[in-house]
Amino acid sequence: MLNEAPVLLPTDTASGLRTDLLSWFNHTGIAVRIAGEFDDSALLKAFGSQGHGYFFAPDVIREEICAKYQVRCVGTVKELMQEFYAISAERRISHQAVAAITRQTPLGEIG
């Protein structure tokens, strides 16, 4: 399905997402046509919603993205994970959401 398909990619190499995607394409032998590169993820999704190409997004927010941008999920790539970090100057975590996440996942393994 993705072979020779137009794909929309983030330009941000600091997060590693673009590098991970390109590596995955190479590893799986999928040859894609880069139809657009975006610094802004909302703009990337907006172009995707207008049919300009496939895009990748975290599975955890799939339903929200599908509803907001009127798109549908065509698959899940289990080999790819996006990492998020919570950094706090406080010795004690006071934000309820951060506390809940750190209780569920050992530090250093939040992904």
Query: What is the C-alpha radius of gyration for the chain, rounded to an integer number of angstroms?
Result: 16
pLDDT of 47 > 70? The answer is yes
Q: Are 77 and 56 in contact (CB under 8 A)?
A: yes
Average pLDDT over residues 33-54: 94
Based on the fold, state whether residues 48 and 14 are members of the same structural domain: yes
Whether 38 is covered by a domain: the verdict is yes
Contact between 5 and 53 (Cβ < 8 Å) = yes
Q: Is 62 found in the same domain as 13?
A: yes
Count CA within 13 A, CB hemisphere, residue 78: 0
- CB atoms near residue 82 (< 10 Å): 14
- The answer as to whether 54 is a domain residue is yes
What does the pLDDT read at residue 82?
Answer: 73
The domain in which residue 19 lies consists of 6-69
Residue 110 has pLDDT above 50, yes or no: no
Does one domain contain both 29 and 49? yes
pTM: 0.73
Residue 40 located in a structural domain: yes
The reply to whether 76 falls in a domain is: no
Dihedral through CA 7, CA 42, CA 27, CA 83, nearest 10?
180
Per residue in 14-39, pLDDT tens?
568 888 899 999 999 999 999 999 99
Banded model confidence at residue 86, pLDDT cuts 50, 70, 90: low
Tell me the average pLDDT of the chain: 84
Residue 59 lies in a domain: yes
Q: Name the domain count of the chain.
A: 2
Where residue 91 falls among pLDDT bands split at 50, 70, 90?
confident
